[in-house]
Structure 1
């Protein structure tokens, strides 16, 4: 594992650090929006006094704190999309790979980074049995995961149930409802709510001091002005899912295809919302990371 000098120094000096995933860049957003968004998110963190650490694998080397050049090199290498279980394959076979929520969490924990900002977590898919590694990794890795809930293309009810089954602590940030990506809030209630970054830091500190393993999932709704109605998304979703079945798209390829196709069908509306929720999550992650340092 290679930790960039900037990230290494920040960790040593007690400067707040947040982890960022590379799958958003490689598979979540189309070019050139992916590269532009990666730059914007890192600049946002720096402007807020936090060091960003984009995590990915370049020709078998795990890199924590990828440079612009390394990100571009990874993209040019047609990277794999990997979860935790595929990390050994990518490393052993000298492959380039973009890390999903699960792989980014595991690497962040190993590197000593407590806060991770993503878009939406994976969960239980609609249709054939398909459950994301994100949930099982959250049951193991002691990291704060800031996300806009789960992606709306999932079975939300079953995803919430799986989070409970795997003892993942979930808190709603200024909300009592579980958010569903760019559709805003679902109809499903959350048992626990927090109203400040300091409260999130307190819960995480308590969790670690008690030796209770696993992530703290912070459900952070997209800003209201960027919400797209469930009815509108459902129309795009039905068409995209139908195409998935027709083309035999399964497994890890489903989410990238659906997100890309829905962006096309909505004339870029979902793309804009996707980017805004990422920015919103990074901002909250920065506030949490700073709160953790203040409490240390």
Structure 2
């Protein structure tokens, strides 16, 4: 165990705590994605169940100060009344297939005087500040509609200004048009009689499971990778930090001379001894005459 005493140092203890914290966060994020997957499956099951049921009167589902529950969303309902065209509200920034547009919400006044907010569909615009006067009018007189129940939006996006909003909320639209409205709203499926110019109908939600399963696996993989990386660094440090191969010293070059400290013959310095010049004796002349002494020793 002496090899692992370094784990008790302050640096390694802090490193370990950091890795454990990252692994825990990755685990929790993975669980969160799997919880979202279960929520998505439950929502899809509710939508599929409600879509296959026969429509019921809207007052059986919606009411005054009665929030729409998750089990009631996408229930098919019917209602009969008269559209209040003067209280039309446009929902901005609704795009379809990359095209700009708005949703058109018109209150349907019921027989008891209360109003039902009906999202009649989508209308393409040129992004120049569409007003209620710019959208096609609904059918006049008494109208029978069928649609899907939706829950109110929440947050600042639901605020209503000049009969315009970014999200539909009966709690905000009701006071803005000065009408008592049922809580929630209805995405229109059909209306009778039909209008002169129909709007694009509401889009039903996708019933797939989304990317949550793969996101969850990714987060768990990141956590396992952090733990594996720490274990490898501990292993490497216990071996002296020399990597996976021990004793990887550089070997002497092939043909090195051991007696000369690994130097090859080509790299050895030349001998310090003197060299005798080469001479030519023909005709008593020599290229090194100045260097050759007279045999008699006199000039």
Could you say whether these structures have the same fold, taking a TM-score greater than 0.5 normalized by the shorter chain as the test?
A: no
Query: Larger radius of gyration, structure 1 or 2?
Result: 2
- TM-score range (shorter-chain normalised) is under 0.3
Larger helix share, 1 or 2: 1
Task: Tell me the TM-score normalised to structure 2 length.
Answer: 0.21
Task: Tell me the TM-score normalised to structure 1 length.
Answer: 0.21
